[in-house]
């Protein structure tokens, strides 16, 4: 199966211009994973939307990064312990206050938006907006993924084309077990590995995982020699590379220069501005003028990194610290990376690739 970006979303777009993917919608401006965030992201120029899935107690697929309600809604409870009738009454702590949407709400909005547009070019642009679903490992995959499949099947695209969602929805997972469950319950949908460990990610470059078309990796993991080798390996195998979560203009330009296929960002309008400055092709990315004043560089952190004299030096030293932390996390989390969602979580053996 040809990859989604090449076959759909990149048609008519420069092959070197990365996709602008709104992280949890437009997280920098609106409460994350809300309809306002998704609508705002598309209005600001997002090509695609990234969102996170959990399952309510009564089997409704809802959009939330956290498995609990505390951070976003101020309620000390788990989503898995609440019915949709209760979840639907909640409002975000962050202004402008928003409710928690379901996956079906997002799909139906995409369909309505496309159907309401009058001109053919506008409808085609609306039909190119795609979704990256982040399947969280807090939920039993044998409950969550069938519910996701039912939800997608319940919403037909204009013209009654239910199968068309396979061209617009990428299913992402954090480990091998969840990817195998996604393969079983959502056949035909492009799959993505999501993570921060190049060591763990390498297993998905094998022929056994040829249907994992996307690698959605922490951007800082790909800086330096090891990252360069991994990027080349992805290209050699014809896969697509997405990076998260990129909010710094210099890292946005760096990502474009390295030829990534998509950049996941909280700052949708900022990324659009950087990509517009770069223009056609990665060569101009090295020349793009972005914010240079020290006061405009967000996310630099404190301590040693903050005392370094130049923004670029701080960025690369910060990347080095991230990579050390990622390596340690890989060691600490190696067991759950390999076991979550496997036999025993749901009770059935994992399916193998045909």
- Domain CATH code at residue 120: 3.20.20.190
Do the domain assignments include residue 241?
A: yes
Which pair of tokens denotes residue 197?
């460990």
Are the CB atoms for 100 and 68 separated by under 8 Å?
no
Which contacts (CB < 8 Å, 24+ apart) does range 323-332 have? Answer: 323/220, 323/221, 323/223, 323/224, 323/226, 326/196, 326/197, 326/218, 326/220, 326/221, 327/197, 327/199, 329/196, 329/197, 330/196, 330/197, 330/199, 330/200
Do the domain assignments include residue 180?
A: yes
Q: For residue 2, is pLDDT > 50?
A: no
Q: How far is CA 34 from the centre of its chain?
A: 15
Which contacts (CB < 8 Å, 24+ apart) does range 286-295 have? Answer: 286/253, 286/257, 288/253, 290/249, 290/250, 290/252, 290/253, 291/249
Give the pLDDT band (50/70/90) at residue 128.
Answer: very high
Do the domain assignments include residue 347?
A: no
Mean pLDDT of 38-59: 98
Q: How far is CA 320 from the centre of its chain?
A: 23
Do the domain assignments include residue 352?
A: no
Mean pLDDT of the chain: 85
Give the pLDDT band (50/70/90) at residue 296.
Answer: very low
Which of 299 and 142 is assigned the larger pLDDT?
142
Give the pLDDT band (50/70/90) at residue 302.
Answer: very low
Nearest to 196 by CA among 30, 347, 328: 328
Are the CB atoms for 252 and 14 separated by under 8 Å?
no
- Residue 331: predicted pLDDT: 79
Q: Domain range holding 18?
A: 4-339
- Residue 14: predicted pLDDT: 38
- Residue 8: predicted pLDDT: 38
- Residue 281: predicted pLDDT: 52
Quick one: 308 exposed, middle or buried, by C-beta within 10 A (0-12, 13-18, 19+)?
Answer: middle
Give the pLDDT band (50/70/90) at residue 163.
Answer: confident
Nearest to 45 by CA among 338, 298, 263, 341: 263
Which of 1 and 274 is assigned the larger pLDDT?
274
Per the structure, the count of domains in the chain is 1
Q: For residue 162, is pLDDT > 70?
A: no
Quick one: 5 exposed, middle or buried, by C-beta within 10 A (0-12, 13-18, 19+)?
Answer: buried
Do the domain assignments include residue 344?
A: no
CA distance 222 to 149: 32
How far is CA 216 from each of CA 30, 44, 88, 121, 194, rounded to the nearest angstrom? Answer: 23, 22, 30, 30, 5
Do the domain assignments include residue 351?
A: no
Q: What is the pTM of this model?
A: 0.86
Do the domain assignments include residue 349?
A: no
């Amino acid at each position: 199966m040809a990859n989604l970006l090449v076959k759909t979303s990149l048609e008519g777009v420069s092959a070197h211009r990365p996709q602008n993917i709104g992280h949890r919608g437009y997280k920098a401006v609106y409460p994350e994973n809300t309809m306002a965030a998704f609508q705002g992201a598309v209005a600001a120029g997002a090509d695609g939307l990234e969102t996170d899935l959990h399952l309510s107690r009564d089997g409704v697929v809802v959009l939330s990064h956290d498995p609990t309600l505390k951070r976003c809604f101020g309620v000390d409870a788990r989503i898995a312990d609440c019915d949709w009738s209760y979840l639907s009454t909640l409002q975000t702590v962050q202004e402008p206050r928003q409710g928690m949407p379901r996956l079906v709400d997002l799909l139906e909005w995409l369909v309505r938006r496309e159907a309401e547009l009058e001109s053919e070019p506008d409808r085609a642009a609306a039909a190119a907006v795609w979704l990256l679903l982040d399947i969280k490992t807090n939920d039993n995959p044998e409950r969550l993924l069938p519910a996701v499949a039912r939800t997608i099947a319940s919403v037909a695209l204009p013209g009654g084309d239910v199968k068309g969602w396979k061209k617009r929805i990428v299913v992402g997972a954090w480990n091998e077990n969840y990817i195998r469950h996604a393969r079983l319950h959502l056949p035909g949908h492009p799959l993505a590995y999501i993570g921060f460990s190049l060591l763990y990610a390498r297993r998905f470059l094998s022929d056994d995982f040829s249907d994992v078309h996307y690698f959605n990796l922490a951007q800082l993991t790909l800086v330096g020699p090891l990252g360069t080798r991994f990027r080349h390996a992805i290209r050699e195998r014809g896969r697509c590379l997405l990076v998260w979560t990129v909010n710094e203009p210099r890292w946005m330009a760096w990502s474009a220069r390295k030829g990534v296929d998509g950049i996941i960002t909280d700052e949708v309008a900022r990324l659009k501005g950087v990509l517009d400055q770069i223009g056609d092709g990665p060569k101009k990315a090295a020349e793009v003028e972005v914010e240079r004043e020290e006061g405009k560089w967000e996310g630099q952190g404190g301590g040693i990194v903050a005392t370094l004299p130049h923004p670029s030096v701080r960025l690369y030293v910060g990347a080095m610290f991230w990579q050390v932390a990622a390596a340690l996390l890989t060691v600490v989390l190696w067991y759950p990376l390999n076991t979550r969602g496997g036999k025993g979580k749901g009770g059935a053996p994992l399916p193998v690739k045909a």
